[in-house]
Copies of this chain bind each other. A is one copy, B any other.
Amino acid sequence: MAGLDFLFAPSSVAVIGASRHAGKVGYSVFRNIISSNFPGKVYPINPSADEILGHKAYKSILDVNDNIDLAIVTVPAELVLRVAEECGQKRVKGMVVISAGFKESGRRGAELERILVEKSRKYNFRILGPNCLGFIDTFTPINASFASGSPLRGNIGFASQSGAILTGVLEWSLEEGIGFSKVISLGNKSDLNEADTIEALASDSHTKVILLYLEGVEDGVRFFEVARKASRMKPIVVLKSGVSSAGARAASSHTGALAGSDKAYSTAFNQIGILRAHNIEELFNYGITFSLQNIPKINAVAIITNAGGPGIIATDKCEEEGLPLARFEPETIEKLRSNLPKEASIYNPVDILGDAQEDRYRFALETVLSDSNVGHVLIILTPQAMTRPQKIAEAIVEVSGRHREKAVVASFIGGESVREASKTLMSNNLPCFDFPERGVKAIAGLVKFAEFMRREPDLEIPVFQVDKNKVNEIFTNVYKDNRVVLLGDEAAAVARAYGIPTPEVKLARSLEEAVEIAESIGYPLVMKVASPHIIHKTDIGGVIMNLENKDEVSEAYYTILSNVLRYFPSSQIYGILVQQMVPQGKEIIIGMTRDLTWGPMVGVGLGGIYVNLFEDVSFKISPFSRKEAFDMLSKTKAYRLLKGMRGEKPSDIDSVIDVILRVSQLSRDFRIINEMDINPLFAYEKGCSALDVKITLEKGK
């Protein structure tokens, strides 16, 4: 893990603010480093001590007559800048700033933090923190944190933006006997952030699964790129909180209104291949499961139980999680039938009855694991009169050891009476949960990650031939006009420049122009007032449809103008749009909203005037492949409509995907587009047509 070597492989460490007084953070950190058997050199820095825990103390890091790779800083915030200056002069590779009193404490702290980062740039060192608990590496080993307990050595890499969550997870891990490779408290993320952490943990051979607790992502674009690569190598599980405090800006488009910050996180995580945990328990349970088990190639699940109720509950939960129950091979069924009591249920879930002893568990598990349709087994035990949980646990360990390519997850129900058995399972790499639902959820995590692994390995981002200059020209004119919202004909022209089919439309500024345009487009036509101030144009008679000839166009021109003048006497009117009438198609919405963290988010769903009612929009962060665009569309009700319901012929789905991809390209080519809606896009049996296009640019470019 080259990127964070300064943290995890230092030859020498200085603890600036090391203290002799138990209870002080500077004491805890120094003592933890020493008692973690760190093999490198450790220097306590403290101007008023000669010696700390048997180590000679120095007044300043500059007094140490040796290279210092890493400085751990616990002094008060107001002293940190001076310390950083000295660290810079000493040419440290990194600083871990445990001290609080920075960005988290208000404006003054934020200024301190900014200067601190400047110093790190100047002297070319990295910073973890400030306002963090430090970090732990169980292999180096080094515990440079003030966490109270020390974690076991294991294969979970864990980074947390909250010290409290980090502490909590470490305490649970001790109870469950689960170990960590590296633990990182991210603090304020002034320099090192979650993307660096993922990158480092992905290439760390001691780490099998990456767990993260985040309240936000610093640099969405880099995170996306780094995490997408990492998730091909090992599972990443993220608990992202701060859902309710979502800093979503007010949206003026339908697509924007249906997006929102938390949806953006979910969308991005899913696209990256990150498993999102929805609570602390889930984060921890996924961690246990990925830590102990491998990822089976087959999704289907078999359930073995000694009681009906929990078997039914597990079956329900499988359905809820979309997990397929395995269909056993005929030989499996035959074998179960001839060896289990006749009251047993030999189909999945397999109920081996309340009087099942270890031999029956052993037989059932061996038989089911040997079935080539089975990828995962959930094995349930509830203690009954004759049950010997410990013996059964040993049988499970023995059998599952012969089937390492499949996952075995246990649920032993019943507290104290199964405690020992549960420990036996866990210490033999078999996750054991108290509730069967948690076992199913754990399996669902394995399956979800297996599906992430099976996705197209490289994104082929289609690139269309487009007319960027034309779009540039239009945007320039819009800004010149002191607007950010494009008029209908401008937006349509942008769409057309990107190969999105639109009905022909032109702006007429006079009756003569209207007639001229009408004759050049051909009939039938629709005419609409062009004004940035009038939203519901239809309601005030600002739209007239089905115009068949010159005369009707002339009449419509005056009718619209007089209607508008009546209802909006002082509104700015750019003219009248003359547009080709196109036949009614299936109404789709395709749009884009720019997320503050993740960038352009493209959406597709059921369109029309009630788009907010249907709330049927599925999103992806741009860029994405054609396959991903199809995947996005196929998750919507709109897709079912396009496929043809009630015996209808299917619409041209390819042409709709084309529009999605072209909108995606447009949103990347022009970062000044804030929001865009095509609503409706009419989809036909052949082709489609973007009837109404709305584009809003960033303010005051």
Contacts and interface: CB of A to CB of B under 8 A. Distances in A.
B309 A171 contact: no
A245 B309 contact: no
Contacts of A417: 148, 171
Nearest to A281: B435
A641 B313 contact: no
Contact of A162 (B243, B309, B320, B613): B309
Given A146-B385, A613-B640, A162 B308 contact: yes
Contact of A317 (B163, B279, B436): B279
B646 A609 contact: yes
A409 to B, nearest CB: 16
Interface in A631-646: 637, 640-641, 645-646
Nearest to A343: B105
Interface string A309-338: 110110111111000000000000000000
A161 interface: yes
B243 A319 contact: yes
A637 B614 CA distance: 8
B164 A384 contact: yes
Contact of A645 (B343, B416, B610): B610
Interface of A: 23, 25, 28, 105, 146, 148, 160-165, 167-168, 171-172, 174-175, 213, 215, 239, 241-245, 279-281, 306-310, 312-313, 315-320, 343, 354, 382-386, 413-417, 434-438, 536, 539, 606, 609-610, 612-614, 637, 640-641, 645-647
A245 B609 CA distance: 39
Q: Which 9 A-B pairs have the closest CB atoms?
A: A162-B309, A164-B307, A164-B382, A244-B319, A168-B413, A171-B415, A171-B414, A279-B437, A243-B316
A484 to B, nearest CB: 23
Contacts of A645: 609-610, 612-613
Nearest to A242: B312
B23 A647 contact: no
Contacts of A343: 105
Nearest to A640: B613
26 contacts: A28-B385, A146-B385, A148-B385, A148-B417, A162-B307, A162-B312, A164-B308, A164-B309, A165-B310, A167-B413, A167-B414, A168-B310, A168-B414, A171-B417, A172-B434, A174-B416, A215-B309, A215-B312, A239-B313, A241-B312, A242-B316, A243-B320, A280-B435, A280-B436, A281-B435, A539-B647
Contacts of A146: 385
B386 A23 contact: yes
Nearest to A25: B385
Contacts of A539: 647
A168 B536 contact: no
Contacts of A647: 536, 539
Contacts of A434: 172
A614 B614 contact: yes
A120 to B, nearest CB: 25
A171 B416 contact: yes
Given A241-B313, A645-B613, A175 B307 contact: no
A383 B167 contact: yes
A234 B200 CA distance: 55
Interface centre among A146, A241, A610 (most CB of B within 10 A): A241
Given A164-B307, A164-B382, 19 more contacts: A23-B386, A105-B343, A148-B383, A148-B385, A161-B309, A162-B308, A164-B308, A167-B413, A167-B414, A171-B414, A241-B316, A242-B312, A243-B319, A244-B316, A279-B317, A280-B313, A280-B435, A281-B438, A610-B641
A415 B280 CA distance: 13
A562 to B, nearest CB: 21
A343 B77 CA distance: 14
Contacts of A416: 171, 174-175
